[in-house]
Amino acid sequence: MHPTVVREDDAVVMIDQRKLPAAEVYVRCRTATEVAKAIKTMVIRGAPAIGVAAAFGIALGMRKSTATGTQKFAADFYRTCEMMAATRPTAVNLFWAIERMKRTFAEAANAGASVAQIQDRLDREAMAIHDEDIASCRAMGAWGASVVPAEARILTHCNAGALATAGYGTALGVVRGAVEAGKRVTVFADETRPFLQGARLTAWELVRDGIDTTVITDNMAGSLMRQGGVNFVVVGADRIAANGDTANKIGTYGVAVLAREHNIPFYVAAPLSTIDLATPDGSKIPIEERNAKEVTHVAGTQLAATGAHVWNPAFDVTPHQFISGIITERGIFRAPYTESLRAAFDVEAVARS
C-alpha cells in the first residue's frame, strides 16, 4: 500500500481519501497553501495524519520561500503556521505538530542559523514527526493486543487506521497488533455517517490486509451488541482532555454508551500527541461543524428534503467514565485519568532528560 502521505523534494503527495475506495488517486501539493487546502477539504484526514501533513506542508512552504534574509523568512514561517492552524479545529495533533515546527524554527534561529540551515532543520523535524508516528502506532498495536480477546469480535467507528496516521493506525493498529499476536479477529466497521470513513476507508484497509471485516450502518451497532456479536470496542481520538474525556468522530459517544450497557470493554487508542493536558475536560474541546451538504448529499446526490435545517458536528465527546482504558505508545492508562495521563508525560520528561 502506498503510504498515506509522502514528502518529495518539491511536493507533499497524498492519497485522495475522498475518492477511496472507488479510485486510488494521488494528489501532489506543490505549495503549503495546497497542503492546507487538502487538510481542510479532507483529501487527508485523521488526527495524526493531519499533524504529519501540516509539518510536511510547513517544511515544503519554507523550502520554497523566496526570502533571503532571516527576518522575511521568519514572517513567512509564522504566516504559514497560522494558515495550517486554521484548517481544522478539533484534532490537537495539528497544533502539536505546528508547535514542534515553531520550536525547531526558534532554536535554529536563536542559534544564528542561516535560511538554508533552518530549511534543513524544518525538513528533518517534519520527517521525525512522520517516523515517530509510525513507531507510536506500532507500539500501540503491541500494547493493545494484550487486552484484545483471543477470539475477538471488534467494533470500531470511523477510520483510525493507516490512512489516518503516517501508517499502521491507532485503533486499527490495535487490530493489526492482535492479528500479529495470533488472535482470531473479526472486525465490524461502523459505516460512520456522514463522511463514511468506516465503510469506505476502514473496510478498504482491512480487506486489503486480509482481515475479516463486516460493514454495518451506525444504527445497527446496538442490535449487534445485544446479540453478543461484539466483545471489544476500540476507537481512535482527535483530542483527549486532561481528565480522559475524548473527542472522536461523531457517533463515538453513542457506541460508548451502548458498550457500557452491554458490558463490552471500550478502549481508545491514541498517541501522546493526541492528549491535551491544557484542556481540562471535554466541554472545552472545540468541535468542528462542517458543511451541511455532507449530511444532505451522498456522493453528490441529494437525499435530504430541501429546506430542512442541518446540524453537522464532525465530532462528539465521550466522557471518561465510559472508557475502559487509553492505549498509547507508552502503555495502557486507566482511571483516574487525571493522574494516569499526567504521569504518562512525566515519564516522557524523565526519558528525555
Question: Catalytic residue numbers?
Answer: 238
Taking CB under 6 A as the binding criterion, the range among 42-50, 51-59, 226-234, 291-299 that sits at the site for ligand MRU is: 42-50
In the complex, least distance from residue 327 CB atom to ligand MRU, rounded to whole angstroms: 12
**What residues from 106 to 135 belong to the interface with ligand MRU (CB under 6 A)?**
none
Residue among 70 and 296 whose Cβ is closer to ligand MRU: 296
45 binds ligand MRU per the rule CB under 6 A: yes
Q: Which stretch binds ligand MRU (CB under 6 A): 62-70, 141-149, 212-220, 235-243?
A: 235-243
Element (H, E) at 296: helix 293-296
Q: Write down the residue that cell numbers 483527549 correspond to.
A: 240
Only one of the segments 141-149, 160-168, 179-187, 260-268 lies at the binding site for ligand MRU (rule: CB under 6 A); that segment is 160-168
| SS3 category, 183 | coil
The region of 236-244, 291-299, 326-334, 336-344 touching ligand MRU under the rule CB under 6 A is 236-244
In degrees rounded to 5, what are phi and psi of residue 280? -65, -40
Spatial separation of the C-alpha atoms in residues 273 and 282, rounded to whole Å: 16
Q: Does 89 bind ligand MRU (CB under 6 A)?
A: no
Helices 70-85 & 32-40, crossing angle to 10 degrees? 10
CA-based torsion, 248, 253, 254, 256: positive or negative: positive
Residue placing its CB nearer to ligand MRU in the complex, 108 or 247: 247
CA distance 246 to 320: 7
Closest to ligand MRU by CB, 55 or 158: 158
The residue among 173, 98, 179 whose CA lies nearest residue 140 is: 173
According to CB under 6 A, which one of 123, 125, 205, 238 is a site residue for ligand MRU? Answer: 238
| CA 193/CA 210 separation, integer angstroms | 25
Please pick, from the candidates 98, 126, 152, 158, the single residue that binds ligand MRU as defined by CB under 6 A.
158
| 205: Cβ contacts below 8 Å, ≥ 6 apart | 1, 159, 161, 162, 163, 169, 172
136 touches ligand MRU (CB under 6 A): no
Instruction: Tell me which of 4, 87, 104, 197 binds ligand MRU, using CB under 6 A.
Output: 197
Which alpha helices (DSSP H) does 24-167 contain, by range?
32-40, 47-63, 70-85, 92-110, 115-145
Shortest distance (Å) from residue 123 CB to ligand MRU: 24
Closest chain position to ligand MRU (CB): 236
Side chain identity at residue 181, one-letter code: A
**Contact between 326 and ligand MRU (CB under 6 A)?**
no
User: Does 160 sit near ligand MRU (CB under 6 A)?
Assistant: yes
Q: Regarding beta strands 246-249 and 239-241, do their DSSP bridges make them parallel or antiparallel, or are they unpaired?
A: antiparallel
Residue 198, interface with ligand MRU (CB under 6 A)?
no
Helix, strand, coil content of the chain in percent (nearest 5): 45, 20, 35
Asked if residue 248 binds ligand MRU (CB under 6 A), the reply is yes
Give the footprint of ligand MRU on this chain (CB under 6 A). 45-48, 91, 158, 160, 164-165, 170, 197, 236-238, 248-249, 314
